[in-house]
Amino acid sequence: MNTSEKIKVFVTLTAMVIFLSGCLNTMAVQEEIPKATDGTNLLDQKNHETASDKTETDLYKVDTSIPVSRALAAKMIALTYNDYADIKTMDREIQYEDVTPSDWYDIYVNAVTVQGFMNGSGKMFNPLEPLTYANAQTLLERIAKGKFKVKMNLSKELQKSYITYNDWVNIYMRLLSKLSGEKSLEEAYGIREREFVLVATPANSTELDAWEMGTDKGIYGFAGLPMDAYIDKQIRVLIKDNEVFAFLRVEDEKPVITNTYIADTSKDEITIFVGGVHRTYKTFKDYSGEKGKIGDIQVQGGTLLDLQTCEETVMGRILLVDSKKIELEGIGNIELSNDYKLYSIAGEKPQWCSLSNLTIGEDLGRFILKNNKICAAIIEKKPVPNKIRVALHKTGFTGLVHQEVSVTSDESFIVKIGDEEQIYKSGESFNIKQVAEKLSDKTPRVNIRTQSGNGKLKILSIQRNGQHPKYRGTLDIVKLDQGYSIVNELPVEEYLYAVIPSEMPTSHGLEAAKVQAVTARSYAYVQFYSNRFHSYGGNVDDSVQCQVYNNTPETDISIQAVKATQNEGIKYNGSVISANFFSTSSGYTANSGEVWADYNDKSFPSYTPPYMISKKQFEGESFGDLTKEENAKRFFKASNIDGYDKEFGWFRWNVTMSLEELSASINAHLKQRYEANPKLIKVLDENNIFRSRPVENIGNLKKIDIVKRGQGGNIMEMVLVGSKATIKVLTEYNIRFLLQPKQYIEGKDPIIINLSNGSTVKDYSIMPSAFFVIEPNSKDGKLIGYTFYGGGNGHGAGMSQNGVKGMVDKGYNYKQILQHYYPGTEITKIY
């Protein structure tokens, strides 16, 4: 190709034509658009060589003048319109002979093919074939989707030439910038620029998997990009999720890696740990005294050029952690530096940590300061859940940020701000407005405790079940940007006093309360370490997001139950389990893997742990294999089963809905459920194959087919035939949510669920369970609706709370009950 030939690329918006010519002066460049190493625009080049004569030895790094392959283009397009997790879990539909599941580009080729951006030639996709400029124009037109007219004025010779990586990235990013309008690329597509030092790849580290690279900012994927040449260099890239979207340039050949943990030293070597990987460098001097410290190191080509350690350290109990600061007891808020790093050496080897690893309420280790900011933290010991900090919701559980806070007590109580304390008499009230001006970064909270240390504090600004709740322990009122958080700190055992009655009626008796105490303690243990509410100053909250706390006050029964089971939890193979439970059984529980999709890859059905298997919940003869429709129909329509849950109305129920009512419910929620997990809602295509495709409306429902049941009789897959679309729905939650027995047709009567105890429920917000059968209702030979005959309430995996009451009545003790619902587990002390 004649190197003096210039490429003219222009994008037309309505009647406006913007020319992207050799100098490109007519188009504004956003900050996210890639720049060349010298700072000029990547397309602002005089020469557009095709690099068709490049040899294989040139491919050790991302040479921006070499061609871009179809596979790399597919990766960028797929990541533009999908999250990486969705790409990875998307159903594989492609059948190209030159693309296999083991290829790095397989998931991206599948995504762009399914979504219509790219296609192959017959049975071949030709993933490693370079893109021509003509190919690039076709792709850009598909991406523009008619919003822009994309055209390249190219000679015939140039049309057939390969587009360079340089040109492709720049043109593609420019188009995305135009498509995103006033939004940034991160806001529109989740694509952001990132600068980091590349520390390791599989070429020099056994700690990394294929196509993983360790950087000073963490581990990232770099599938398809040759990055080994950039080890020990500071580079700038575009990132989507944790995957490198595009390489931009080298920023520094002798970079400084800040806030690095020095894992080991010797006379002529130093080993650092950063970003989740170790790396050993040669040294010119002996740094053996620096082991265990935090330092800034300068490196080049495997050699340490300089080391500056950070010596200033503070310690203290962690009270709040958010993205900008950490609050330590007795010190106050300390700002986080922009390049802070978190490590743990509490285990056998160093761990790369996140903010959630800084367990609230614990004194875990050292915080290293640089310029009065936290530049690193080293966790030196594991937290122990003796106490728990609970972030409290507003009235109605509508949020954790309070505008008003008012507290009183039946006994004298102490209000402390910093070193200042004030005693309030019994019955007096404290209001946050009285001291708001005293709160600062150094003293960002108010601590309240009863004078005796054993009393309760009543929050007048919150209501639970029409009453002002009372709390054991202490209350912290913490100043946030938009208001205040309220955190209740107390011993875990006392926390359970008010969890048990909020999750299960204590009228079920002491033995049932013991069961709930052990499951609640196990669940609290797991949630304590999750530490999800650290930005509010809590380990857990008081809602169903963790477990409901103090919505119903503690009782004598709940206190007795906790004391009788002190420190006991449920373990399987030595680990505490998260003990799932639900309201009412139908007579069988479900295999958990036949209820929930896999958390990581979204596959369904998923793995069922041995302690979460389907079990019979009644005494008497079995109804046979409940995966078979005829047996399920006999079972769910039977009313004389001696089930553990039989005394509760939800044990058996029925509801009738017309086709119009069902259509209205399905179409009201279909888009939401598809977007929640596209893999679990599939549309029948023209080849009679169910595929994951966007869908918002099936039209008028014509038919319901039950496709697959689990071992417990729960529906796993259902087909809904509509006038506009036929869909397959997977998982019990999607099925229950789409078939809500709730009236969505204006002017029509509420939909009534009939319960086995003779009571009724109107307009329930979800089908009670997926343990049901359906019977069609016809008029004059025409289908007009369905009646659902079902049993139970809830997901059906794990322990039935009402079943516990039935088992207690039959003489089982709490350990027998727990080992019935969670087979193979042991009930033992967990702390």
State the DSSP string of 496-553: HHHHHHHHS-GGG-HHHHHHHHHHHHHHHHHHHHH-TTGGGT-SEESSTTS---SSS-
Residue 257 pairs in a beta bridge with: 297
> Could you tell me the pLDDT band of residue 32, with boundaries at 50, 70 and 90?
very low
- For residue 786, give the nearest of 723, 730, 705, 681 by alpha carbon: 705
- For residue 239, give the nearest of 219, 268, 209, 261 by alpha carbon: 219
Distance CA 554, CA 257 (A): 53
Give me the percent of the chain exceeding a pLDDT of 70.
Answer: 92
pLDDT at 602: 85
Q: What is the pLDDT of residues 593-615, one digit of tens each?
A: 999 999 888 889 999 999 999 99
322, amino acid identity: D
Q: With 70 as the cut, is the pLDDT of residue 34 above it?
A: no
What is the mean predicted confidence (pLDDT) over 652-658? 99
Q: With 50 as the cut, is the pLDDT of residue 7 above it?
A: no
Distance CA 607, CA 587 (A): 22
Q: What is the pLDDT of residues 96-155, one digit of tens each?
A: 999 999 999 999 999 999 999 999 999 999 999 999 999 999 999 999 987 877 777 777
**Which has more confidence, 89 or 355?**
355
Distance CA 651, CA 639 (A): 9
- For residue 582, give the nearest of 755, 714, 741, 390 by alpha carbon: 714
pLDDT at 66: 85
- For residue 576, give the nearest of 623, 637, 540, 529 by alpha carbon: 529
Per-residue three-class SS string for 210-268? CCEEEECCEEEECCCCCCHHHCCCEEEEEEECCEEEEEEEEEECCCEEEEEEEEEECCC
- For residue 676, give the nearest of 131, 114, 86 by alpha carbon: 86
How big, in percent rounded to 5, are the helix, strand and coil portions of the chain? 25, 30, 45
**587 CB burial (10 A radius; 0-12, 13-18, 19+):** buried
Helix 510-530 and helix 814-821, axial crossing angle in degrees, nearest 10:
50
Token pair 């990581």 is at which residue?
600
Contacts of 126 (CB under 8 A, 6+ apart): 70, 98, 120
Strand-strand pairing, 799-800 and 581-582: parallel
**Both tokens of residue 622?**
């079995």
Please state the domain extents for the chain. 8-188, 312-379, 387-576, 586-797
- For residue 157, give the nearest of 5, 369, 9 by alpha carbon: 5
Name the region of 615 (left: φ>0; alpha: ψ -120 to 50; beta: rest). Answer: beta
> Could you tell me the pLDDT band of residue 39, with boundaries at 50, 70 and 90?
very low
Q: What is the pLDDT of residues 338-369, one digit of tens each?
A: 999 999 999 999 999 999 999 999 999 999 99
Furthest C-alpha separation in the chain: 95
Distance CA 230, CA 243 (A): 16
Q: With 70 as the cut, is the pLDDT of residue 23 above it?
A: no
pLDDT at 18: 28
What is the mean predicted confidence (pLDDT) over 678-697? 93
Q: What is the pLDDT of residues 443-461, one digit of tens each?
A: 999 999 999 999 999 999 9
pLDDT at 601: 83
Average pLDDT, the chain: 91
> Could you tell me the pLDDT band of residue 246, with boundaries at 50, 70 and 90?
very high
Token pair 């005294």 is at which residue?
289
